[in-house]
Amino acid sequence: MADMASPVLLVSPSCNIISPWVCNLLAYLVNTYALDSGISIANEMKCYSQAITGFLASIAIKESAKVGDQAQRRVMKGVDDLDFFIGDEAIEKPTYATKWPIRHGIVEDWDLMERFMEQVIFKYLRAEPEDHYFLLTEPPLNTPENREYTAEIMFESFNVPGLYIAVQAVLALAASWTSRQVGERTLTGTVIDSGDGVTHVIPVAEGYVIGSCIKHIPIAGRDITYFIQQLLRDREVGIPPEQSLETAKAVKERYSYVCPDLVKEFNKYDTDGSKWIKQYTGINAISKKEFSIDVGYERFLGPEIFFHPEEQRASKAAYENQGNFFKELTVEVGKDEWIFVKQFANPDFTQPISEVVDEVIQNCPIDVRRPLYKNIVLSGGSTMFRDFGRRLQRDLKRTVDARLKLSEELSGGRLKPKPIDVQVITHHMQRYAVWFGGSMLASTPEFYQVCHTKKDYEEIGPSICRHNPVFGVMS
């Protein structure tokens, strides 16, 4: 068994960054959409997000049986079993079948996932798993059976000396300690984790996730990309059809932001468009010629679906000036001469994210509600829009204050509720919060005390990983 100074390999099925720690730790996190790699010096508790390699969480294989027959399709012998590719290489192999072992953060094909991890560890990280303790993270509401499958792969296939499965929300809370807004290190808070495919609101009390109160929001980065893509298609005719999604993604990442007031934002663009409209230039993949598009309302309408998934609003002037922009949207003339443009990002979900967060906290035990309001932590790439945290804090504060005011009115003025402190925490490691929190945990001597060892696994079996002790104190 490895000693206390052994490196650690960190793996996650839903985070945004992967990083080998050259000195003390090795870290690798698998994302549903994209993976990046960076170097971290664990002793200094710093993360250098310098990209070493980045690729999609996909795998390209040669299928030898009919589609859907998982038992037979990968029965190969000898060298043929190694004939597969992952990441960008998988996308570039048109004669191979491209598969996605992870969907919405949950592993769906364990056979492919094991092969994916095998190539990650041996080909890209060039690590010997027998020499390293592993820290893995799991998404919200991960099933105990999935933990058992993970334990079987790690202990039996890779023969790791130790394994710890951490909850992503807890690691995100730990990562927030680097923020200047945080005065006290605590593992109680509300984590808003939004990536490319899904958004979760997760309440955590003293390191334990309150599972019955977790809310799932079917709106995330991919939906914003699709929304911007549709807006650009309606207005811009110069975008090559096969590059419309790529263009929308670039617009989202480069120019999008969250505005404080939608009506005022429309007015800004209507009165002084040259100041706010940006220009995006791309290269046609076929003709190799440049194409340019103007990026206007898309800049703030994309992220707005988090806060108004049920409608988008525009001024009358905007509708008259950019009628084609709204041509496929339902238009209603309001009394104050505003045009209300309805656009369902998801017809089954019309609740603003601030209301979802408030509902989650209100469903929690009353004694932890104030700490949950006070420590709302953002995690994931889709929370990185400029002023996202500020807008969320403002909207949530309005909801909370309105409830307190109503309580006072209903009591006839006899009750004077104590104001509730609402604080949304942002920090420089927000995009890679789970990875960074994991690096903090795995860098401490106490980490080895909470790991399940190979000896424990051999004595008890994979069920040992159904429960993992809460790592409550990090130094």
One domain, residues 287 and 247: yes
Which are the contacts of 392, defined by CB distance < 8 A and separation ≥ 6?
Answer: 192, 307, 353, 354, 357, 376, 424
One domain, residues 214 and 225: no
One domain, residues 228 and 213: no
Instruction: Give the end of a domain, one of 425, 444, 470.
Output: 425
Task: Provide the CATH number for the domain around residue 260.
Answer: 3.90.640.10
* Of residues 448 and 422, more confidently modeled: 422
One domain, residues 214 and 226: no
In a domain, 6, yes or no: no
Report pLDDT for 36. 38
One domain, residues 228 and 332: yes
Q: What is the mean pLDDT of the chain?
A: 76
Lowest mean pLDDT among 145-154, 181-190, 338-347: 338-347
One domain, residues 203 and 230: no
Q: Which residues pair with 193 in a beta bridge?
A: 200, 379
Report pLDDT for 57. 62
Task: Provide the CATH number for the domain around residue 195.
Answer: 3.30.420.40
For residue 75, what are the CA distances in angstroms to 63, 65, 83, 156?
A: 9, 9, 12, 20
Q: Is residue 446 predicted with pLDDT exceeding 90?
A: no
For residue 455, what are the CA distances in angstroms to 292, 300, 452, 462?
A: 61, 54, 8, 12
Q: Is residue 166 predicted with pLDDT exceeding 60?
A: yes
One domain, residues 290 and 368: no
Q: Is residue 56 predicted with pLDDT exceeding 90?
A: no
One domain, residues 318 and 355: no
Instruction: Give the end of a domain, one of 382, 398, 425.
Output: 425
In a domain, 63, yes or no: yes
* CA 267 to the chain's CA centroid: 32
Report pLDDT for 70. 52
* Of residues 186 and 75, more confidently modeled: 186
Report pLDDT for 355. 94
Q: Which residues pair with 34 in a beta bridge?
A: 56
439's torsion region: left (phi>0), alpha (psi -120 to 50) or beta?
A: alpha
One domain, residues 228 and 86: no
Using an 8 Å Cβ cutoff, are 304 and 327 in contact? no
In a domain, 465, yes or no: no
Report pLDDT for 22. 25
Using an 8 Å Cβ cutoff, are 45 and 96 in contact? no
Report pLDDT for 186. 87
Candidates 351, 364, 343, 58; CA nearest to 199 is 351
In a domain, 120, yes or no: no
Q: Residue range 389-415: average pLDDT?
A: 92
In a domain, 192, yes or no: yes
Provide the percentage of residues in the chain whose pLDDT is more than 70. Answer: 72
One domain, residues 283 and 247: yes
One domain, residues 239 and 267: yes
One domain, residues 210 and 356: yes
Instruction: List, for residues 234-275, the tens digit of each pLDDT value.
Output: 876 788 888 888 899 999 999 999 999 888 898 899 888 888
Q: Residue range 436-449: average pLDDT?
A: 85
Can you give the pTM of this predicted structure? 0.76
Q: 336 pLDDT band (50/70/90 cuts)?
A: very low
Strand arrangement, sheet containing 338-342? 312-315, 338-342, 330-333
Q: Is residue 458 predicted with pLDDT exceeding 80?
A: yes
Candidates 125, 119, 120, 171; CA nearest to 7 is 125
Candidates 21, 57, 52, 55; CA nearest to 37 is 52
Report pLDDT for 123. 81
Q: What residue numbers bound the domain in which 188 lies?
A: 175-218+351-425
In a domain, 36, yes or no: no
Instruction: Give the end of a domain, one of 342, 362, 378.
Output: 342
Q: Is residue 222 predicted with pLDDT exceeding 70?
A: yes
β pairing state of 278-283 and 290-295:
antiparallel
- Three-class secondary structure of residue 33 per DSSP: coil
In a domain, 73, yes or no: yes
Instruction: List, for residues 8-47, the tens digit of each pLDDT value.
Output: 445 444 333 333 232 223 333 333 333 333 333 333 333 3
Return the DSSP state at 418: P
Instruction: List, for residues 340-395, the tens digit of each pLDDT value.
Output: 454 545 666 788 999 999 999 999 999 999 999 999 999 999 999 999 999 999 99
Lowest mean pLDDT among 57-66, 119-128, 234-243, 377-386: 57-66
Q: 62 pLDDT band (50/70/90 cuts)?
A: low
In a domain, 52, yes or no: no
Q: 156 pLDDT band (50/70/90 cuts)?
A: very high
Q: How many domains, the chain?
A: 3
Strand arrangement, sheet containing 85-86? 85-86, 59-61, 97-99
